Amino acid sequence: MDIQYEIIENIVVLSESPKGWTKELNLVSWNGRDPKYDLRDWAPDHKKMGKGITLTKEEVLKLKESLGSFN
Judged by the rule CB under 8 A, the positions of this chain that interact with a copy of itself are: 11-12, 14-15, 23, 25, 39-41, 51-53, 55-56, 58-64, 66-68, 70-71
- Asked if residue 21 lies in contact with residue 35, where contact means CB atoms within 8 angstroms, the answer is no
In angstroms, give the least distance from the CB of 11 to a copy of itself.
6
In angstroms, give the least distance from the CB of 53 to a copy of itself.
5
Q: How far apart are CA 20 and CA 26, in angstroms?
A: 17
Which residue, 22 or 29, has its beta carbon nearer to a copy of itself? 22
Let me know the angle formed at the C-alpha of 5 by 44 and 34, rounded to the nearest 5 degrees: 135
